[in-house]
């Protein structure tokens, strides 16, 4: 099943909801050549590349996963060649600084490009995604010398990056990291330890791998305040930039996984043969802080993976539903019809479509906030956008990935018995999507972040700002006379009230009844995703009503999808608010031995 990048939908979200014209007008992006006409040109290029080169590798990659033998990982057929093309075409550097060979374009544009790579193949896209994360970590804190030595070759796609955080005893809780870094006196360190779940921690797609590794120096304090960040290349780099000795980091196995099988997930052993040479990034003991910058980028990216796999699953389900003839139309048809005419199939497809569009719109909106945070000349505007971006990151990550599992599962369901047969391909999305709510911080981690750092810490200020923005959209809806706008207004108003009820409950009880509040953290994240996603859909409806005459089929579909989201999905916000406010006690009522 081919993938067709939804360029028109992406541009709609970028132009009408994320404010592309304002973003590209920032001097830093304008200087890089960005304008409103650049976006469609780049998106069309990205679409071509991902449709033609990457997407065809996805199913074969699942059937011929990366393999491990005597320390060497061989990736799936075609991956190496496709990644060479990816790098040489400049796709790794879209968002990165021109001084290191990047294009310096807004995250908003890069996000749309990356959505396509993820849709084409989650497994493939993980390699540039992790490289992106490693570049981001280096840009955050590395010395000019380290930057010069590593970043240009990563941006060009000649080398890739990995993020080495997790250890067997340190998963969600990085305070338990035990990897050691022993100073050598010459600015270098020797690194010792085991890292697990390292995506593309070993592979054959690039000449070198630049591992970003969390470890402790000998005198570091306990806990998260004693973690430092090191860059540990697979091959050492000589002064002239050429590759030197093999470093003492070795892959000892890769995992046998449920999905994303083409991407190797490595167990890496550092320092078993004397110590792996590493270089400190930034200052000692500030590793987690740097990691958080990078993790926000990676979490956002994983959220995009959710949207991307949902889009792919949706396209596949639509195609099947149009092709598969079975049963008569409920209203009575002379003979059997394509199943897309059955209301429950429409319900499934609309659910898939509405979740995907809403999540995409919210993610792009967040990307634009990130761009404003970095490029707006006004400090107050920067700060305001930073708060919004940081509030949205756990939602983009948590909500989009949770919905992607549901959407991929619906994709299987639309196919009926065929969906359960591996060769059909729908099951691959169901398997692949299942990792997204786990890596880069489980949904619980995102939900706790949303409650603690993003809602309670500022006394609900950012939540209130978003609430006010929604209320403004409600006013605009009220001004439209259409039945669609009125239907959306009704549900959006209720959803906003549910959101505000939840925020008020959390603020009032976060100190006095912490376990009850966090028992509702997942529900709060989901509620926030529904109301904010539904808000973007409502804004989309308003834009579509304005633009309707220019393309009636496209815009009337936007309007109907917004209304479906409001009437079919957004009402869940009421149930979630009830559960947040009422079920704190019963969630925690059982003693451990009663389970």
| Residues with catalytic function | 440
Reduce the DSSP state of residue 400 to 3 states and report it. helix
Q: Taking a C-beta distance cutoff of 8 angstroms, is the pair 395, 532 a contact?
A: yes
Q: How many Cβ atoms sit within 10 Å of the Cβ of residue 322?
A: 13
State which residue, 32 or 338, has the beta carbon closest to a second copy: 338
Q: Taking a C-beta distance cutoff of 8 angstroms, is the pair 123, 58 a contact?
A: yes
The rounded distance, in Å, linking the Cα atoms of 365 and 539 is: 11
How near is the Cβ of 447 to a second copy at its closest, in Å?
A: 6
How near is the Cβ of 213 to a second copy at its closest, in Å?
A: 18
State which residue, 194 or 491, has the beta carbon closest to a second copy: 491
Q: How is residue 390 written in tokens?
A: 């940081």
Q: Taking a C-beta distance cutoff of 8 angstroms, is the pair 124, 262 a contact?
A: yes
State which residue, 240 or 423, has the beta carbon closest to a second copy: 423
How near is the Cβ of 319 to a second copy at its closest, in Å?
A: 9
The rounded distance, in Å, linking the Cα atoms of 369 and 24 is: 12
State which residue, 330 or 479, has the beta carbon closest to a second copy: 330
State which residue, 258 or 504, has the beta carbon closest to a second copy: 258
Q: Which of 439, 438, 449 is nearest to 518 (CA)?
A: 449
Q: How is residue 105 written in tokens?
A: 């374009």
Question: H-type helices in 26-97, by residue range?
Answer: 27-31, 38-49, 58-63, 79-88
State which residue, 244 or 343, has the beta carbon closest to a second copy: 343
Look up residue 133 and give its DSSP letter: H
Q: Which helix (H) or strand (E) holds 267?
A: strand 265-270
Query: Is 108 buried (19+), middle (13-18) or exposed (0-12) by CB count in 10 A?
Result: buried
How near is the Cβ of 436 to a second copy at its closest, in Å?
A: 10
How near is the Cβ of 443 to a second copy at its closest, in Å?
A: 7
Reduce the DSSP state of residue 71 to 3 states and report it. coil
């Amino acid at each position: 099943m081919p993938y067709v990048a939804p360029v028109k939908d992406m541009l709609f979200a970028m132009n009408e909801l994320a404010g592309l014209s304002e973003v590209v007008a920032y001097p830093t992006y304008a200087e890089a050549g960005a304008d409103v006409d650049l976006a469609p040109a780049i998106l069309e290029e990205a679409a071509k590349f991902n449709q033609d080169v990457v997407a065809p590798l996805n199913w074969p990659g699942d059937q011929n996963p990366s393999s491990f033998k005597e320390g060497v990982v061989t990736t799936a057929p075609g991956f190496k060649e496709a990644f060479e093309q990816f790098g040489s075409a400049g796709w790794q550097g879209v968002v990165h600084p021109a001084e290191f060979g990047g294009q310096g374009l807004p995250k908003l544009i890069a996000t749309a490009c990356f959505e396509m790579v993820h849709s084409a193949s989650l497994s493939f896209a993980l390699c540039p995604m992790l490289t992106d994360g490693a570049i981001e970590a280096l840009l955050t804190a590395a010395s000019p010398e380290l930057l010069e030595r590593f970043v240009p070759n990563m941006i060009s796609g000649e080398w890739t990056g990995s993020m080495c955080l997790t250890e067997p005893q340190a998963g969600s809780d990085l305070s338990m990291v035990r990897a050691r870094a022993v100073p050598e006196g010459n600015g270098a360190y020797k690194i010792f330890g085991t890292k697990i779940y390292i995506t593309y921690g070993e592979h054959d797609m690039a000449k070198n791998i630049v591992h970003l590794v969390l470890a402790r120096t000998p005198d570091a304090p306990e806990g998260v305040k004693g973690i430092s960040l090191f860059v540990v290349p697979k091959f050492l780099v000589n002064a002239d930039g050429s590759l030197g000795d093999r470093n003492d980091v070795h892959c000892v196995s890769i995992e046998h996984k449920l999905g994303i099988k083409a991407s190797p997930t490595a167990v890496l052993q550092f320092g078993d043969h004397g110590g792996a040479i590493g270089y400190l990034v930034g200052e000692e003991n500030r590793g987690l802080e740097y990691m958080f910058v990078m993790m926000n980028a990676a979490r956002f990216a994983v959220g995009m993976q959710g949207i991307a796999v949902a889009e792919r699953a949706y396209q596949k389900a639509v195609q099947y539903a149009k092709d598969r003839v079975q049963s008569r139309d409920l209203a009575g048809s002379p003979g059997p019809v394509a199943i897309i005419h059955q209301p429950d199939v429409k319900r499934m497809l609309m659910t898939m479509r509405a979740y995907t569009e809403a999540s995409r719109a919210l993610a792009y909106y967040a990307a634009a906030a990130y761009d404003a945070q970095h490029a707006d000349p006004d400090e107050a505007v920067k700060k305001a956008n930073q708060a919004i971006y940081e509030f949205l990151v756990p939602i983009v990550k948590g909500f989009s990935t949770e919905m992607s599992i549901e959407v991929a599962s619906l994709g299987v369901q639309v196919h009926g018995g065929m969906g359960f047969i591996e060769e059909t391909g729908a099951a691959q999305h169901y398997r692949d999507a299942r990792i997204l709510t786990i890596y880069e911080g489980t949904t619980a981690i995102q939900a706790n972040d949303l409650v603690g750092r993003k809602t309670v810490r500022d006394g609900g200020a950012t939540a209130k700002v978003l609430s006010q923005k929604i209320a403004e959209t409600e006013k605009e809806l009220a001004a439209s006379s259409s039945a669609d706008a009125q239907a959306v207004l009704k549900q959006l108003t209720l959803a906003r009230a549910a959101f505000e009820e939840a925020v008020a409950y959390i603020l009032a009880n976060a100190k006095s009844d912490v376990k009850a509040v966090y028992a509702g953290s997942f529900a709060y994240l989901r509620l926030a995703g529904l109301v904010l996603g539904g808000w973007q859909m409502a804004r989309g409806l308003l834009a579509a009503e304005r633009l309707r005459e220019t393309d009636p089929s496209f815009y009337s579909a936007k309007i109907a999808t917004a209304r479906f989201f409001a009437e079919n999905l957004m009402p869940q916000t009421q149930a979630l608010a009830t559960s947040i406010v009422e079920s704190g006690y019963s969630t925690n009522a059982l003693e451990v031995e009663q389970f």
